[in-house]
A and B are shown apart, each in its own frame.
Chain A
Amino acid sequence: MTSPTQTPASPPRDPVDVIVVGSGAAGSNMAAHLAEGGKRVLILEAGPARGPGHLISSTLYARRVKWTGPPVLDEGKNPVGFVFNSAYGTGGAAMHHYAVWPRMHPEDFDMHSRHDRGLDWPLKYVDLAPYYDEVQQEAGVSGDATKEIWRPAGAPYPMPGVPVFPQGSAIARGFTKLGKSVAPLPIAVTSTNYNGRPTCLWDGWCDSGCPIGALANPLTVHLPRAASAGAQLVNDAAVTKVLTSADGTRAIGVEVALKDGTRQTVNAKLVVLAAFAVENPRLLLASATAKHPQGLGNSGGFVGRYVMTHAAGLVYGLFDEDTRPYMGAFGGQLVNQDSYPKTTHAKSGAFGSYQWMIAQAVKPNDLLGISTTRPDLFGPALHDFMKRATRGFAGMTAVCEDLPVADNRVTLTDQRDTHGVPIARVTHTTHDESVALWKASLAEGKEVMRAAGANEVWTGPQGSMHIMGGTVMGSGASSSVTNGFGQLHDIPNLVVAGPGLFPTSAGVNPTFTVHALATRSAEHLLANWRQVAG
């Protein structure tokens, strides 16, 4: 068996069945399932090799795990925050994700039909539900399905809900006083020993990457499975172009630039792009040919369009009691989804869903640290705040749905990276109804904090969480890039995986849905192998 962190320096010369571009949540999932289905799988990861030893418990060292690939121009009125929200190296962004894994709701899948907003998915919740069940079992999710009154139908969680620390209890008091309920936040972190993995210590180092196997990142779950089934992972292997047949109907492999500066062509029967929501469209656009002059999969002009990012509704409070805000998971302790119905805040001009992630573990510094919640303070006042907040801080974050807007998009610039590939520009300006939703979340959040008894209540700026869209799935090339399995309408053996497929962003975190879609897609590709891969 090959360890996922001991990898060859270059790809094989002979053809493989499947090339997977990217080793994050989507890529590692697809690689594991396709390799277990008997396919010869090669994972090409542009970034460096990373193992558990790289996941150093430090907000400073965590910054070295984030994106350091080719520059991305992050523009628009509300940039997507590409560097913070992505990563570079084995495991991709999922190496430092916070593993908040709620399900999308049935109403997320046909929003256009129901509300004349956004886009419809080419599948329904019932199509995805069995895959949510399967993934939560294999990756391990902690939660309490009974207390989560908003939860769509599905199997109960395989592990009990995460513990609640004083920060969570303090905020929960506010929800309760206002007649709202809370439930343990569903997270893919171990609340008990699980399949040989130890129970989480609740030390809040998720953003640096979890090295002990408590959090379901690719190193812990899918990459070892992929390796056991014979998949090969090559690091420092930047795919520069997807190669297509002369008639343009099929992908035949990729061109890859290696660390030593050489280029190599690798042929495959199936190519899976799992390089995240910006790099996937960048590669499709940069792989244009005479048969596909606007880029691969772009006959309808939708490659790069409908990029979305959740607006973060950041609400903070300072309490008299010792909230021990550093305890717990970085994603939080409790959830509330009372504002999930799309028109809950219609009176405020808002549209869409949001959920609260309540009582997230904090550190003193960094983008989500205590000090950054009060950027106006400096000097002795900042010292004083830091000391008070270490004892009494509490915070929660609304995950606010971002309506898909066609002009929020990835395009190529005329600058090129070191391999000669045009670098990407991603432009994002939040839809007015989504901004109104974010504002509504702040209003509710402040009310909750006051009801909880906070002495001081304040809010943060409109942050950007998660990146979705850019290669959206749909019913045909006239309105989307791929079908419901991620296959390009124009080139069916070229498959996209990851949150880039989402036609809408929902009001929940994306990674669980990324896994459910990838598992479903892999199953479909294996079942229809001859037809898809020839």
Chain B
Amino acid sequence: MARRDFIVGGALLTFTLAGCEKKMTPAQARAAEVPFRTLDARTVAVLDALGEILLPGSAAAGLSHYIDHQLSGDAADSMLMIKYLGVQAPFTVFYKSGLQATDTLARTVYGKAFPGLSNEQASALVTKMSGGQVEGWQGPPAGLFYFVLRSDAVDVLYGTRAGFEQLGMPYMAHIEPPSRWGE
């Protein structure tokens, strides 16, 4: 295995593209338009839009592919922050219903789907969600959902060697994150 494979992303996962397994970072999986396994297109659109409000750049970094990949595998191998937060696996329902609730909130308040909102409108809704008190919210607790998605966005953008380097933080690994999922 080439040393290069270790260094590229710090979170290379195995995605399936055209029937072949391929090692990619979530960002590469996004660029290659790897098909989603658990999330549908509409949910992904809300997730990408929410990710961009929470941490600009996280959608391009492959937030949706990362979450889809994690939700599609064995919960015991999950690397999602939600593990720590008292929510029982599997976590798909949490994500799907939270994203659905986010979209419904946008339609109720602004009469538009969440991905169609302006930055100001979307940020105003996310501020409400972060406070945990959202009238008519139907999903997992809004504050918890905000915290989880925000953590995921930070994980994807800053939780890798590339992310550390963006911040000027030395990575100093003993063992680099492996290049193939499941090893």
A interface residues (Cβ-Cβ under 8 A, vs B): 52-53, 55-61, 63-64, 66, 68, 71, 74, 79, 81, 83-84, 201, 203-205, 210-212, 326, 363-367, 369, 371-372, 375-376, 378-380, 382-383, 386-387, 390-391
Contacts and interface: CB of A to CB of B under 8 A. Distances in A.
Nearest to B147: A375
Nearest to A63: B79
B91 to A, nearest CB: 12
B83 interface: yes
The interface centre, meaning the residue of B78, B89, B158 with most chain A CB atoms within 10 A of its CB, is: B158
Given A58-B10, A379-B53, 14 more contacts: A57-B176, A63-B80, A64-B79, A203-B170, A366-B159, A367-B84, A371-B150, A371-B151, A372-B151, A376-B130, A378-B126, A379-B54, A379-B56, A391-B168
B1 interface: no
Interface in B123-174: 123, 126, 130, 147, 150-151, 154-155, 158-160, 163-164, 167-174
Contacts of A326: 169-170, 172
A382 B55 contact: yes
B86 interface: yes
B81 A212 contact: no
B109 interface: no
Contacts of B177: 56-58, 60-61
The interface centre, meaning the residue of A58, A205, A390 with most chain B CB atoms within 10 A of its CB, is: A58
Contacts of A375: 130, 147, 150
- Interface SS of chain B: helix, strand, loop or mixed? loop
Given A59-B159, A79-B86, A379-B55, A205 B150 contact: no
B63 to A, nearest CB: 13
Contacts of A68: 75-76
Contacts of B175: 52-53, 55-57, 211
B61 interface: no
A366 B81 contact: yes
A68 B126 CA distance: 31
The interface centre, meaning the residue of B76, B123, B163 with most chain A CB atoms within 10 A of its CB, is: B76
B77 interface: yes
Given A371-B154, A375-B147, A375-B150, A380 B174 contact: no
A68 to B, nearest CB: 4
A71 B80 CA distance: 16
B150 A83 contact: no
B88 interface: yes
B11 interface: yes
Nearest to A61: B177
B178 interface: yes
A470 B170 CA distance: 41
Contact of A378 (B75, B86, B150): B150
Interface of B: 10-11, 53-57, 75-81, 83-84, 86, 88-89, 123, 126, 130, 147, 150-151, 154-155, 158-160, 163-164, 167-178
A67 B89 CA distance: 12
Contacts of A365: 151, 154-155, 158-159, 163
B104 to A, nearest CB: 20
Contacts of B57: 383
Contacts of B77: 64
A57 B168 CA distance: 17
Given A81-B84, A365-B159, A57 B169 contact: no
Contacts of B150: 371, 375, 378, 382
A45 to B, nearest CB: 15
A66 B154 contact: no
Given A68-B75, A387-B167, A378 B88 contact: no
22 contacts: A53-B175, A57-B174, A59-B159, A60-B11, A60-B159, A61-B79, A64-B76, A83-B86, A363-B169, A366-B81, A366-B151, A367-B84, A371-B154, A371-B158, A375-B130, A379-B54, A379-B55, A382-B55, A382-B150, A383-B55, A386-B167, A390-B167
A383 B81 contact: no
Contact of A364 (B54, B83, B86, B163): B163
B169 A390 contact: yes
B76 A364 contact: no
B147 A367 contact: no
A56 B158 CA distance: 17
The interface centre, meaning the residue of A365, A366, A376 with most chain B CB atoms within 10 A of its CB, is: A365
Given A59-B159, A211-B174, A371-B154, A83 B83 contact: yes
Nearest to A202: B172
A57 B56 contact: no
B78 A63 contact: yes
A66 B81 CA distance: 11
Contacts of A71: 88-89
A55 B159 contact: no
A378 B80 CA distance: 19
A195 B145 CA distance: 48
Contacts of B163: 364-365
B53 A56 contact: no
B172 A364 contact: no
